[in-house]
A and B are shown apart, each in its own frame.
Chain A
Amino acid sequence: MKQWIDRALLGLHVAGACLLIALTLLIFYDVAGRLFFNRPFAGTAEVAGVGLVLLTYLQTPYVIRHRKLLRVTFFIDRVPAALRSQLNALAYLFGGVFFIGMAIVSWEPAIVGWASGEFYGNDAFRVPAWPLRFGTLILWIISGLVCIGFVAEGLRGRLTEKDDALPE
């Protein structure tokens, strides 16, 4: 079960990396089109902006799971292991509330946006908003669940390792 989850999260992370490569090629295509054919691609800025959001949240669950979020470890590294586990539970509770809360309020705009054909950009190029709306919705739920998983582990006293001591 656990291994399966880690693989799925790695899969999302890899999807994010692929998206980054795609964005690079897109920007290059735009530049080359302008320089060599006087034909730039009109949607680069919009697509890249949307892509950047998706790529960030595609990689967030894996980053949380591997405890790579930035934090000040001075205090938490010096408390007894049992307390550290509880503090970690509290830390990820914040994260769980944050992500799940955002997912809940994003449901309605996602549906409305879908129904009204919401888009980013303008007449020159439009990016439909729904892939981003529903994409972030799902990815926030996943990130929230990863956090909640840590809360459960932490409360049971199993999150005693220091972040820095974790294997790569």
Chain B
Amino acid sequence: MDMAMWGGLIALFVCVLIGIPVVFSFAAAAGFGLYFVLGGFEPTISLLERTAISGIREYNFVVIPLFTVMGMLIAHCGAATDLFRVVNRLLKGIPGRLAVATVGGNAVFAAVTGVGVAAAAAFSHVAYPVMRDHRYQPSFAVGCIAGSSVLGLLIPPSVFMIVWAILTEQSVGILFAAGVFPGVVLALLYALYCIVYAKMFPAAAGEGSGDQDSSPLTRSNVMGSLGVGVLIVVTLGGIWWGYFTPTEGSAVGLLGAAILAVAKGMRLRGLFQACITAGQTVTPIMLLLMSAVIYSKLMALNGVPQEVQYLLEEMGLGPAGTMLFMAIVWFVLGALLDSISIMLLTVPIFWPIATALGFDPIVFALVGILVIEAGVLTPPFGIGVFVVKAAIPDRNIRIGEIFKGAAPYWVLILFVAWLVYEVPAVATWLPGKVLS
């Protein structure tokens, strides 16, 4: 880490804090650092230009807009409201049940999405308006959405796990299986937190206004919910039974959502409007991903990964200390970069060290994934929170409120990471069962 690197890092912080859009801040800071690394403007801007294309030109990324539009269609046509009314009914008597239903919905949605951002974007439209209608405190409502979106990366399918498996030459199937149980545990902890919080602060959960909602379910509510159920079965089942890949599943799911929307009475104009709104949500996310990739290239070209590896070997911390050190690095980077970039930067360095220290590969993967995902919910730039901010239909919500609301969730994620480290069976039991 030389002067240019530190200078760039400080410049990045200053830019972001004074309100330069994050995309431009990343580009400027990376440009500044790269100018010294590459020794000139021409190669620097060429690298930015190539990354602006290659950072997005990735087939698997189409799930981001497609699952976003799908969520918007479900939200706009009223099917999401149907679902929540039905779930609300089923959970009658449970405090904060809309938040609990959001967690549950995310856990199910996680089974049809490979990326967390898609879940965050979808539920910002599906769950948030309903919670607001029931006078939930905004930070409680958005925190729940941001926190729950992590389930999408833990519960298979998960783009994140696929990349991890490739980097570490592990079985994708084993990692997928390993994620199921920690995902369920995390979802249960989330639900428990929502219930406890709503019990302690009834005002935050609309004074139980969901319970006062005694108007009977309409036929349309039930049909809409069934429609969502069918959609999940078609999308998830199609992926599970090998009719299509998760990426392809996002297109099938979107067409299914369009059919559902039309059945719910939405017309061409409404479908189109949903696409337009989705564009305003997705484009800032795509730009952010792209600029984070640029920044991660600066780090890689500066040899930061190698120096960290050297540093770690020098320090001789022992297994637990090394794990803790890695966790801290992941957690801190989570506040700066997107998950995939963090993984690309750190896993090739940490993996050989982890192997040498004799860590269980599954435990290592799960701890890494959990900690990185906890990190992306933390201030100042946790991308998980910015995604929710961009997607949320309520423009009055402040980024600070989302960070505040999401804080208990990353604490719970870190707890599950610790649990997996201490009790590996949480992660390793199911893979052993499935594949022996």
Chains A and B share a contact (CB less than 8 Å): yes
Given contacts A45-B59, A94-B28, contact A105 B49 (CB under 8 A): yes
- CB of B251 within 8 A of CB of A98, answer no
Q: Decide if A101 touches B45 in the complex (CB within 8 Å).
A: yes
Sort chain A's interface into a size bin. 35 or more
Per-position binary interface string of chain B over residues 56-94, scored 1 when its CB falls under 8 Å from any chain A CB and 0 otherwise: 111101100110010000000000000000000000000
Residues of A contacting B265 in the complex (Cβ-Cβ under 8 angstroms): none
A81 interface residue, CB < 8 Å from B?
no
Q: Is the CB of B45 within 8 A of A94?
A: no
Q: Nearest chain B CB to A84's CB is how many angstroms away?
A: 8
Q: Report the Cα distance A60→B280, complex, angstroms.
A: 9
**A91 with B21, Cβ < 8 A, contacts A28-B255, A52-B58, A72-B381 known:** yes
Known contacts A31-B251, A52-B62, A102-B45; decide if A95 and B284 are in contact (CB<8 Å). Answer: no
Contact between A50 and B57 (Cβ–Cβ < 8 Å)?
yes
Q: In angstroms, how far is the closest chain A Cβ from the Cβ of B417?
A: 27
A91 to B25, CA, bound (A): 9
Asked if residues B19 and A75 are in contact (CB atoms below 8 Å), the reply is yes
Q: Are B27 and A31 in contact (CB under 8 A)?
A: no
Q: A60 CA to B399 CA in the complex, in Å?
A: 22
B17 within 8 A of A: yes
Set of chain A residues within 8 Å of B97, measured between Cβ atoms: none
CB of A17 within 8 A of CB of B251, answer: no
**Interfacial chain A residues near B287, Cβ < 8 Å:** 56, 60, 63, 69
Contact of A13 with B279 in the complex, beta carbons under 8 Å: yes
Q: Which of A13, A16, A71, A102 has the most CB of B within 10 A?
A: A71
Report B96 CB to chain A, min CB distance, Å: 27
Contact A27 B399 (CB under 8 A): no
> Which of A63, A140, A166 is close to B283, meaning CB atoms less than 8 Å apart?
A63
Q: Is the CB of B251 within 8 A of A52?
A: no
- The 8 A CB mask of B285-305 against A (1 = contact, 0 = none) is 011101000000000000000
**Segment at the interface with A among B123-131, B176-184, B390-398, B405-413:** B390-398
Q: Is B251's CB under 8 angstroms from A70's CB?
A: no
Asked if A141 is at the interface (CB within 8 A of a chain B CB), the reply is: no
**Chain A residue at minimum C-beta to C-beta distance from B285:** A70
Residues of B within 8 A of A24 (CB): 66, 251, 254-255
> Once the chains bind, are B52 and A136 in contact (CB under 8 Å)?
yes
CB distance from A115 to the nearest CB of B (A): 18
Q: State whether the Cβ of A152 lies closer than 8 Å to any Cβ in chain B.
A: no
Closest to A66 in B: B280
Asked if B288 contacts A27 (CB within 8 A), the reply is no
* B252 CB-CB contact with A under 8 Å: yes
Is B166 part of the binding interface, using a Cβ–Cβ cutoff of 8 Å?
no
How would residues 233 to 252 of chain B score, 1 for a CB under 8 Å from any chain A CB and 0 otherwise? 00000000001100110111
Residues of A within 8 A of B283 (CB): 16, 56, 59-60, 63, 68
Contact A71 B21 (CB under 8 A): yes
Task: Tell me whether A95 and B276 are in contact in the complex, defined as CB-CB below 8 angstroms, given that A24-B254, A105-B42, A132-B53 are known contacts.
Answer: no
In the bound complex, residues from chain A placing their C-beta under 8 Å from that of B21 are 69-71, 91, 94-95
Docked complex: A111-149 residues within 8 A CB-CB of B:
120, 132, 136, 140
Give the distance to chain A from B426, nearest Cβ to Cβ, in Å: 35
Task: Quote the shortest CB–CB distance from B142 to chain A (angstroms).
Answer: 14
> Does A155 touch B at the CB level, under 8 Å?
no
Contacts of A49 in B (CB 8 A): 56-59, 61
Within the complex, the shortest CB–CB distance from A145 to chain B, in Å, comes to 15
Report B116 CB to chain A, min CB distance, Å. Answer: 16
The answer to whether B244 touches A68 (Cβ under 8 A) is: no
B28 and A31 contacting across the interface, CB-CB below 8 Å: no
B203 lies within 8 A of chain A by Cβ: no
Do B248 and A27 touch across chains, with their CB atoms under 8 A apart? yes
Are B56 and A56 closer than 8 Å at their CB atoms? yes
Q: Mark A67-107, 1 if CB is under 8 A from B, else 0.
A: 01111111110000000000110110011001001101110
Question: Would you call B23 an interface residue if the criterion is a C-beta within 8 Å of the partner chain's C-beta atoms?
Answer: yes
CB distance from A122 to the nearest CB of B (A): 14
Known: A31-B248, A75-B19, A101-B48. A91 touches B24 (CB 8 A): yes
Query: Taking A52-B56, A73-B19 as contacts, is the C-beta distance between A94 and B25 under 8 angstroms?
Result: yes
Is B329 engaged at the interface, CB distance under 8 Å to the other chain? Answer: no
Q: Are B251 and A27 in contact (CB under 8 A)?
A: yes
A48 touches B62 (CB 8 A): yes
Is A35 in the interface zone, CB < 8 Å from B?
Answer: yes
What are 21 of the A-B contact pairs (CB < 8 Å)?
A: A13-B279, A17-B278, A20-B279, A23-B62, A24-B66, A24-B255, A27-B62, A27-B250, A28-B255, A48-B62, A52-B65, A56-B286, A60-B283, A68-B280, A69-B21, A70-B288, A70-B386, A71-B19, A75-B17, A102-B48, A140-B52
Query: Chain B interface (Cβ within 8 Å of chain A)?
Result: 15-25, 27-28, 31, 42, 45-46, 48-49, 52-53, 56-59, 61-62, 65-66, 69, 243-244, 247-248, 250-252, 254-255, 272, 275-276, 278-280, 282-284, 286-288, 290, 380-381, 386, 389-390, 395-396, 398-400
Besides A68-B284, A72-B380, 10 other A-B contacts (C-beta < 8 A): A28-B251, A53-B53, A62-B280, A68-B283, A69-B22, A74-B399, A91-B20, A94-B20, A94-B21, A94-B27
